[in-house]
Structure 1
Amino acid sequence: MMENVERKSNQTHNGTQSCMTNTSLDCGKSRDEVLARIEVAVLAAIFVAALVGNICVLAVLLKGRSTRTKSRMQFFIAHLSIADLTVALFQVLPQLAWDVTFRFQGPDALCRIVKYLQTLGMFASTYMLIAMALDRYMAICHPLRTLQQPCHRAHAMVATAWLISAVFSAPQVFIFSLQEVDPGKMDCWADFVYPWAAPAYITWITMVVYVVPVLLLSASYGLISVEIWSKVRSKKHTHHAQLHRLEGGSRELSRVSSVRGISRAKMRTIKMTLVIVLVYVVCWTPFFTAQMWSVWDHNAPGEE
């Protein structure tokens, strides 16, 4: 779930102001209380599921820490869970409170901080998936390179994901501020000086959160699938010849298990490809389609 991106523009002498809230309300008007209750219930369910689920994942990972057998994937999954917890605590929870109170309750500084943290978790969760995909691509398609300080590379990739997320979230601090939406009523609003700024910003968000990640995930897991298929076919052709030259049943059994193991890995990778890419696309496509439609089509349906 992305932070406030739906737009209602009001032309003023200072430029274009946009009410970018997830509460599906028109700026300065009363809201639909039935819809508000539904939104609160949905957000509460999402918050509980995200909080409990990711805490359980982290608990399982921390419980086995003493074994010193942590893989790079476990390291990535831990940071993915942390990113998802950031989404739950700093994106879903503030939006839940916002839906309950209707108007933002807090000073201008809190408004900017909340908006920054809402996108930070979203970016971090997205780019952690990309880091995991790139790590799997390197491990399977370029295995020799993984032998060269694999842990250092994993730490660098995770640090880069968090750094990019922090930088990409920075515009929120300058775009959002506490503004008077009605006489005596304040709310956390986005302020775009130029009419083209809001469509440009939402298009940029769409590219860096949806379009580019989907392309990278699809390319990475697609190449992984092709590589595994080619390795399995190659080993099947050479396997019978190798068995005749091997001495000792244990070595023969080891080779057979290896081939079967790669075959199982191939199927798991293909399934993981479908799950990650399809779920990501299914979850984000309706949202970003609606967002792009709302800012680029002046005849798009409003929220009245």
Structure 2
Amino acid sequence: MGSRSNSSEKATTEEGDVYGRFALVKAGILGLVFLLATCGNIFFLCILWKRRKRNTKTQLFLLHLCLADLVVAFFQVLPQFLMEITHRFRGTDFLCRLVKYLQVVGMFASTYMIVAMTIDRYHAVCRPMVSFLKGSFRRYLSIGAAWLISLAFSAAQISIFSLQEVQENQYECWATFIEPWGSRIYITWITMSVFVIPAVIVLYCQIRICTTIYFNMKRKALQAVRAGTKGVSKGVSSAMLKTVKMTFVIIMTYTVCWSPFFVVQLWSAWSPSSTPTQGLSKPSVCHHYAAGQPQQLHQPVDLSLLQLKKNLMHHCRRSISKGHLRYTPHAWRTPH
């Protein structure tokens, strides 16, 4: 009898040690995510501030995209990091609902700001006259709509989450679903609204943008050949092509980073091995969003790398124009 008691106590101690190490690893990852996301987005905000005199149409979207990512960092990743450190939610019921609400606001805002930016590029390339006449108004309208949609779609968090007593005098910020299928419906709704629907909209716009650019350049090339000119005029400006490339990089990063997360979430909720009441446990629903924010790290990095490339190309063009370098179709040569 004594040996059984000792064995159970030993097993309990080992489980506690494993849980403690796992919580420490999660806290370390969340802390790293917070630092990288904060520093990366603040760094890119500084770049935008330095370039404020050469304000472009896309910079307004990039500004709000960085702000949305900072909302994720401070109101999603940071609270989750603190909860991993303290092992409990330290706050009132109001604070619990507010934190969970703001956690999803940032996630929605980051997603729909990408959608708004892509739609703006779609109008600029595919409908240039409409974009020219209503461009400024449409941009502010789309940004405002992105924030309003984020605030509205996140409202469900307020009723789902609450401060609950899990043990005597121990409280957690947990989710409660009205029916057994609630967790599955919730995860499916989040997947559709954050990933599937935005991805479809963005994919459609990007395909239309690419096809429009291709046919425009092809038409200009044919016109140049018929006119007998040596140079082939591009149908789309280099600035617009750079903007499209930057938008494409952001979209690809967004898709690659989000896909594994939502696939795992849907599988865990709808797999045959999980019953409707086991789709996602309460702690899992409370915590699962904090692990799904890699795009907040990649977006400022991708944008900064594109900016660095642009600066390098600018210096190269200046060197060529001053005669330091001369480009031929075969190689780079110094002037004779």
What is the TM-score normalised by the length of structure 1?
0.79
Q: Does 1:76 align with 2:61?
A: yes
- CA 1:94/1:195 → structure 2, altered by over 3 Å: closer, same or farther? same
Query: In the TM superposition, what whole-angstrom CA distance separates every residue of 1:236-255 from its partner, at most 9, and x where no partner exists?
Result: 000133466xxxxxxx9xxx
- CA 1:174/1:183 → structure 2, altered by over 3 Å: closer, same or farther? same
Q: Does 1:299 align with 2:286?
A: no
Tell me, which stretches of 5 or more residues in structure 2 are unaligned?
A: 1-14, 285-336
CA RMSD of superposed structures (Å) = 2.6
Q: Which residue of structure 1 lines up, in the alignment, with residue 72 of structure 2? A: 87
Cα distance in structure 2, aligned partners of 1:162 and 1:168: 10
Task: Return the offset for 1:111.
Answer: 0.3
Query: In the TM superposition, what whole-angstrom CA distance separates every residue of 1:6-60 from its partner, at most 9, and x where no partner exists?
Result: xxxxxxxxxxxxxxxxxxxxxxx96712221111111111111111111121122
1:232-271 to 2 correspondence within 5 Å?
232-242=217-227, 256=231, 258-259=233-234, 262=237, 269=244
Q: State which of 262, 270, 276 in structure 1 corresponds to 2:250.
A: 276
Cα distance in structure 2, aligned partners of 1:115 and 1:133: 28
- CA 1:267/1:150 → structure 2, altered by over 3 Å: closer, same or farther? closer
1:199-214 to 2 correspondence within 5 Å?
199-214=184-199
Cα distance in structure 1, aligned partners of 2:27 and 2:45: 27
Cα distance in structure 1, aligned partners of 2:181 and 2:204: 32
State the one-letter code of the partner of 2:150.
S
- CA 1:286/1:96 → structure 2, altered by over 3 Å: closer, same or farther? same
Cα distance in structure 1, aligned partners of 2:246 and 2:131: 23
Checking the alignment, whether the CA contact within 8 Å between 1:175 and 1:190 is kept in structure 2 is: yes
Which structure dedicates a bigger proportion of its chain to helix? 2
Task: Return the offset for 1:89.
Answer: 0.6
State the one-letter code of the partner of 1:276.
I
Q: Does 1:100 align with 2:85?
A: yes
Q: Does 1:135 align with 2:120?
A: yes
Q: Which moved more, 1:31-40 or 1:163-172?
A: 31-40
Q: Which residue of structure 1 lines up, in the alignment, with residue 293 of structure 2? A: none
Task: Return the offset for 1:284.
Answer: 1.3
Cα distance in structure 2, aligned partners of 1:148 and 1:177: 48
State the one-letter code of the partner of 1:38.
V
Higher Rg of the two aligned structures: 2
Task: Return the offset for 1:214.
Answer: 1.1
Cα distance in structure 2, aligned partners of 1:260 and 1:72: 20
Q: Does 1:57 align with 2:31?
A: no
SS of aligned partner of 2:255: helix
Cα distance in structure 1, aligned partners of 2:244 and 2:151: 31
What is the TM-score normalised by the length of structure 2?
0.72
Task: Return the offset for 1:205.
Answer: 0.4
SS of aligned partner of 1:194: coil
Q: How many residues align?
A: 263
1:146-185 to 2 correspondence within 5 Å?
146-185=131-170
SS of aligned partner of 1:188: strand
- CA 1:261/1:147 → structure 2, altered by over 3 Å: closer, same or farther? closer
Checking the alignment, whether the CA contact within 8 Å between 1:232 and 1:262 is kept in structure 2 is: no
- CA 1:263/1:79 → structure 2, altered by over 3 Å: closer, same or farther? closer
Q: Which residue of structure 2 lines up, in the alignment, with residue 247 of structure 1? A: none
Q: State which of 21, 34, 37 in structure 1 corresponds to 2:24.
A: 37
Checking the alignment, whether the CA contact within 8 Å between 2:224 and 2:232 is kept in structure 1 is: no
Checking the alignment, whether the CA contact within 8 Å between 2:121 and 2:244 is kept in structure 1 is: no
State the one-letter code of the partner of 2:136.
C
Task: Return the offset for 1:91.
Answer: 0.5
Q: State which of 130, 134, 158 in structure 2 corresponds to 1:145.
A: 130
Does 1 or 2 have the higher relative contact order (CA < 8 Å, sep 6+)? 1
Query: In the TM superposition, what whole-angstrom CA distance separates every residue of 1:113-168 from its partner, at most 9, and x where no partner exists?
Result: 00000000000000000000000000000001011131111000000000000000
